[in-house]
Each structure stands twice: as structure tokens, then as C-alpha cells.
Structure 1
């Protein structure tokens, strides 16, 4: 079996920059590839974590070896198709949220199952939470966190509408969610009391009371944005193309845009998985000041188009089953350089 990765033994004096130069890779390529396979305590941020002894690095193949490796089964004209099955798939999900020097993790488990097509010929997938939510490896233990989890539970099971390219575009079971809210609200009011609780529920009720508002809220969901991404598309004969993507890294304004290169490996790995990578940089009409103030329009960006340009990076890796083309694991990381650096990491893997 061909190795999915090699290991590099960290030498005294090695830095992320010096090792990247040895391997003829960028620092982002080296750290992001390593982060896909390593344990959470070995994640590389700006520098190597203390005590890191081995680094996961890209394997290399010669031409003879490549001829023995199965190729990705494209449809006509290098089209990768979504082939949904009605088997429930369970995933573990972990978010790592970094804001300056502060870092927090959030973990939970979900199931995903294909339900068929709706009247508009969109694919319908059901997403359901199947575990408790853990913040920094502990169950939620504050009233505010408990309320947030209980009110978000009204969404599940959630049916989402998906395009043939794998992008999620809407909610399919809005009426059912609205009905569930009344029952959940009564339970919360029986368990908690206080004016601030009622105000909190009222804000949630306003969001749930309008389908467009609910859709706008869900557009900030990191799992939906990373799992239902546009990866089932036509790839060029070079197995890559330039495109753009968005991600809701800021909580109070619309998603930010990144110009990316999307690349699919021509060959399956030794586990018969398809590897897709997206990598690029922030490309926004909104300036750094606009984004600092979480504005939806480029106010300062229009006034001063060549000043205060925001910077950031985007990287994702998808590993798909070579027969079904369904996601087995993914890693997504995006950042934006504001006065306080913001970075989100999403890891999804089969249970």
C-alpha cells in the first residue's frame, strides 16, 4: 500500500520556516497537511508546538509507482458527481475558534442522510445532532450556554436543500422547525425564569418566525458551510481551476470572500480516497475597517480603495470515498487579519 504521508523527524533548531524550505513547500502547505493527520495537541499554529517530535509531510511517487495507483473515477469531461445513498453517516465535528491569544474548542456529533429530491429538484439531506455539545472538552455548565444549546436544538433534525454541485442553498423543513419551537419554548420557560430569559427567547422567536431570517442565521453555520461545499463540479484537464468561496468567519456580518485554487488529485490514495484541496487568500471589497466594524457593505473600502486592505487565508482538504464520492473527512481553516487575529478551524471525520 502506498503511504498517505511520510514522517519527518524534528531536528534541533528546526523551525516551520526552515523545514518548509527543506521540503520546497510553503509554511501553510506544511502546517495544514500536518494538521489533517496529527492529534489536537500537535496542531501547528504560527510555530511548532512545544514538544513536537514528528511532522506529517507529503509523500512522493515516481512515474512507475503512479501507473499502479487507481485514478479518480470522473464522469465525462472531468466531472466529479455527487452520488448520495440513503445510508445514515455519523461524523464527529470539532471547531477550533481563535481570537488573538484566546482559543476555544467546540465538539459534537452529527448524522447525515440523503432523503431524496424535493419539488424543485434539489437534493435533500437531513442533518441531525446525535450527541451533547462539549466546550473545551467539558459539557456546557452555564445558563447562557445551556440556553444557546437548547434553543439551537429546535433546528434538528434539519433538512437542507443541496445543488448537484454539493452546495447548500436552503431549508426544506421550515414549517416543522416552527412547530417544534413552541414545544421547546414551553419547556425552557418551565425550567428557567427571568426577564433576560424571555428577551433571549424573543430574539430567537423573531429569527424562527421568518424563513428568510432563519436561512440568514443558518448561513453562519460552520458545519453546513464546510460539509456542503461546491466540490462536485467540472475540473479541468489539469485537475484544478480558479474560483472563489465564502466563509462566515465573522459572526455579525455576511460571509467574507476568498479567491482560491480548487484542486483534485488525479489518483486515489492507498485508502481509495479522493483528495480535494482549496487554497487561497482573502479578496474583499470591504476594507479592514469595514470588517473590524462587521459591516455588510464596503463603506471605507469605497472611500479608500487602495488603503487598509484586509488580508487573510483559506485552506480546506476533503477526503472522499472513491466509490460513493461521499465525504469521509475534511479539514478547513480560514483566517482574517484584524486588530485581533481571527481564525476558524473545522474538522469533520467519520465515527
Structure 2
């Protein structure tokens, strides 16, 4: 293992996964062809009870700096809230093992559904209800809903697999387009060191290695034999960890996807900071 004695001790502290309770300010800004389209912010409460058991809550959701005001935004936030608080168990490396309170999530929906039908009606509302109930009917679909969150994908990166080795390579699948198949990036870990503020800093970066075109990703289409062009892109991520308990202190990510004709570009700036 590389690094000074203090750095090696700090790395071991992260691998120990001590209990903690943290609040994070989370901001995700989406740019389409260089223009700021959507900025989502919320507060995430994360509690780790032991090495593998977590509770996550989400509150104070804002869209472009304001509470949800359009019908679509309001419905999206209300239906998304049924998944929180979220209780889950991870594998030793940090990957999701199971969501522990799926029955509780389903019960929340049955309660909210009646309220939902009092305020929203029409074909659109019925389609949303059908979509949610299809998701809640399957354990795998509930888990996919959670995994299609930038916060979850980045916060629960399996650090144990990479933190002890510089220049480790792995594939990272990111939900660049909501409710679509995740986009594949080839990632390499960088140097692990103490930052100026006394936190443990790890940088990882990579390029898009997905074989699909921009259009295929948007339309959730599979690769066909006749396709020759694909997207280009990059992912730059910087993590800081607390030495005392191994918790994440901050995440800064810059993910860019560029269409094969360079006419389409999607960029996501993701920031998580301890309150």
C-alpha cells in the first residue's frame, strides 16, 4: 500500500466503517448544450448504524432555487418522497445488498395514493400511478429506482475495492439521463492523500466507454450492428473523507457527455458537502 504511515492509518479508518450521523447539502446542476437547464438541491441525512446498515432521508427539495411549483415538479417530488426514509444494507465493499424497508415504502404509497387522487386526475395522473405501482411491485425495480440516483451512485461507491490501490481501473455506470439505462464510464483512481483542511482526499477520473450513441441513450435503445459512432465524454470526481469515522465529507463531480456529431452535450455538476 502506498502513502505515509499517517495516510495508511487513515485509510484503515475508512475501511473500518464506524457509526456516524451526517447531514449533507446536495446540489445537482444539469446543463444542455452549455445552458443551465435544471438545478436540483436538497438536504440528505445519512446515518450509519454499523458497517453495513444505513438510513437515508431527504428533505428541503428545491428546483432552480424554488419549491416545486409546476404540476409536473410537484408530482415528481411527492412521489419520490415515498422512498424516504430509506433503510438499506450494503455488501462489505459498499455496493447495495438490499433495501430493508420495502414494505414500509409500499405502505407510504398506499397512504399517499388516496391523497394523490384527490388533487390530480386525468390520463397523466393515471399513467404516473401505473408507473409507481409497477415499480413497487418488484423488489428489483425498487432497487433500480434508488440506484438511478446520482447521490446514491456516488455516495456508495465501493471504496473498499479501490482505496488501497492507486491507478486501479473499474467501470462506473451513471444515471446521466433520468429513468434511462445508465451510461458506462471507464474510471481510474488517482492519488490518495491528506488535504489542506485535514481531510482524506481521493481523486478519480475517466472517459465514457459506452458503445451507444447519444440518440440511443435518450431513447433507451440497445446497440445495433450497423452503429459505428458513439458518444464521447468524461467524469472527474473528487472525494474528501473524515478521518475520524471514514464518512464522506464532500463529493465534487463533473460529468460530461458529448454526442457523436458534437451537436448535443449534457453536463452534470454534482456537489455534496457536509452541513
Q: TM-score, normalised by structure 2?
A: 0.88
User: Following the alignment from structure 2 to structure 1, what is the Cα–Cα distance between the partners of residues 235 and 106?
Assistant: 35
Contact 1:321 1:328 in 2 (8 A): yes
Contact 1:82 1:326 in 2 (8 A): no
Contact kept, 8 Å, 2:250 with 2:271, in 1: the verdict is yes
Residue in structure 2 matched with residue 89 of structure 1 by the alignment: 22
5+ residue gaps, structure 1, are: 1-65, 118-122
Distance across 2 between alignment mates of 1:240 and 1:181: 44
Matched residue, 2:272: 348
1:110 equivalenced with 2:44 (yes/no) = yes
CA 1:293–1:187 in structure 2 vs 1: closer, same or farther (change >3 Å)?
closer
Assess if the C-alpha contact under 8 Å between 2:14 and 2:243 holds in 1: no
* CA pair 187-288 structure 1, distance change in 2 beyond 3 A: closer
Match of 1:291 among 201, 204, 217: 217
Residues 324-343 of structure 1 deviation map (CA, whole Å, 9 limit, x = unaligned):
11101111121211242111
Q: Distance in 1 between matches of 2:218 and 2:11?
A: 44
2: distance between equivalents of 1:253 and 1:177?
22
Matched residue, 2:143: 215
2:172 corresponds in structure 1 to 245
Residues 161, 171 of structure 1: 8 Å contact kept: yes
| Alignment CA distance shift 1:274-1:251 (3 Å) | same
Match of 1:35 in 2: none
The CA RMSD measured in Å over matched residues stands at 2.4
Higher share in strand: 2
Is residue 82–residue 164 contact of structure 1 (8 Å, CA) maintained in 2?
no
The count of residues paired between Structure 1 and Structure 2 equals: 269
In the alignment, the residues of structure 2 paired with residue 311 and residue 234 of structure 1 have an alpha-carbon distance, to the nearest angstrom, of 25
State how far apart, in whole Å, the 1-side matches of 2:65 and 2:10 are: 40
Tell me how far 1:171 sits from its aligned partner.
Answer: 1.8
Q: TM-score, normalised by structure 1?
A: 0.70
- Larger RCO: 1 or 2 (CA < 8 Å, sep 6+): 2
Any stretches of 5+ residues in structure 2 without a counterpart?
none
Q: In 2, distance between residues paired with 1:138 and 1:171?
A: 31
* Runs of 4+ residues deviating >6 angstroms: none
Cα pair 1:278 1:317 within 8 Å, conserved? yes
